[in-house]
Amino acid sequence: METTFNFTDYSELSANTGMVNIATANANLDGTGALTGLLTGAANGTIINSVIIKATQATTQGMIRFFVNDSTGTQLLQEVPVPAMTPTAVEPSFETRISLDINLAAGNRLYVSTENAESFNIIAEGLDWVYPATPACCDHMKRSANNGLGLVNTANPNLDGTGTIQNIMTATQKGTTLETVHIKGQASTTQGMIRLFINNGIGGANFLFTEIQIGASTQTAIVPSTINRSVYYNLIFKSVYKLAASTENADTFSIIMNGLNWQY
């Protein structure tokens, strides 16, 4: 279920981003053992738009499990297989993006666990909705462009959110949709990686959510840098949260993020 905005509904949507890191092994399917809370349903409920799973280390075959908890107990919702993968300077760690096909009722919680004691960032894209006391009818959502511009050129091989990471875009209003990321080399490049992170905008940890492979290129006065990547992502994130970037090697890249803010 990929939820889209309904412009004839007078409810007002606000982005709600859940971010956790999990690393404690739990083989249980019955809702016991180590579980980590990811999102809680708002007053009218929360739409779970999608969930990103991103390993921050090498992985062995295992499973990521999602659970829903209400006042009566905790039930298994979905399992996502994890393959064996070893990240390098030019090969990404395991990542996937899934739909859970559920809207959380008010107060209900979405939990997550990992089969193996390996580190994963779990990022949930949620949408809370409310109905204003004096509703305005029809097509009342207002959107505005949001461009995030930044430069990365300091080598950082870390996947755990440490090291030199440059903030690029900040969500505003009711939330922001990141539509595309443009990556352009400013000089010759070696094989490596651009990594994208999300943080809560107030000094919280950086959560890796995707890696983009960069090839080798040679730039001259008459040959342009061949690194010119445009990546479509369509990621929603909460107001004041920030998207950030790092580079594996000390090569110079322009990063331009193309987004849309929304308000009412």
- Residue spans per domain, the chain: 12-130, 142-263
Q: Is the pLDDT of residue 177 over 70?
A: yes
The answer to whether 252 touches 153, Cβ cutoff 8 Å, is yes
Task: Name the residue among 150, 157, 151 with its Cα closest to residue 249.
Answer: 157
| Mean pLDDT, residues 233-257 | 96
Q: 178-188 burial string, b = 16+ CB within 10 Å, else e? A: beebbbebeeb
Strand partners, 67: 76, 111
The percentage of the chain sitting over the pLDDT mark of 90, rounded to a whole number, equals 80
Q: What is the pLDDT of residue 140?
A: 72
Identify the band that residue 34 occupies on the pLDDT scale cut at 50, 70 and 90: very high
Which residue carries 């990929």 as its tokens?
2
With a cut of 60, say whether residue 4 has pLDDT above it.
no
Examine the pLDDT at 113 and tell me if it is beyond 60. yes
pLDDT at 7 over 50: no
> Which class is domain 12-130?
mainly beta
Integer Rg of the chain from CA: 20
* HEC sequence for the chain: CCCCCCCCCCCEEEEEEEEEEECCECCCCCCCCCCEEEEECCCCCEEEEEEEEEECCCECCEEEEEEEEECCEEEEEEEEEECCECCCCCCCCCEEEECCCCEECCCCEEEEEECCCCCEEEEEEEEEEECCCCCCCCCCCEEEEEEEEEEECCECCCCCCCCCCEEEEECCCCCEEEEEEEEEECCCECCEEEEEEEECCCCCCCEEEEEEEECCECCCCCCCCCCEEEEEEEEEECCCCEEEEEECCCCCEEEEEEEEEEEC
Query: CB under 8 Å to 27, separation ≥6 — which residues?
Result: 33, 115
142-263 CATH: 2.60.120
pLDDT band at 53 (very low <50, low <70, confident <90, very high): very high
pLDDT surpassing 60 at residue 44: yes
pLDDT-derived band at 18, boundaries 50, 70, 90: very high
Res 137: pLDDT: 61
| Burial class of residue 233 in the structure, from the number of CB atoms within 10 Å of its CB (0-12 exposed, 13-18 middle, 19+ buried) | middle
pTM across the whole model: 0.92
9 has a pLDDT exceeding 50:
yes
73 or 6, greater pLDDT? 73
- Nearest C-alpha neighbor of 57 from the set 108, 129, 120, 5: 120
User: What pLDDT does 2 receive?
Assistant: 45
Residue with more model confidence, 198 or 2: 198
What residue type is assigned to position 252 of the chain?
T
12-130 and 142-263, same CATH topology:
yes
| Confidence at 23, pLDDT banded by 50, 70, 90 | very high
The residue written with tokens 């096909």 in the block is 101
pLDDT for res 132: 78
Mean pLDDT of all residues in 182-201: 94
Q: What is the mean pLDDT of the chain?
A: 92
Average pLDDT over residues 187-193: 93
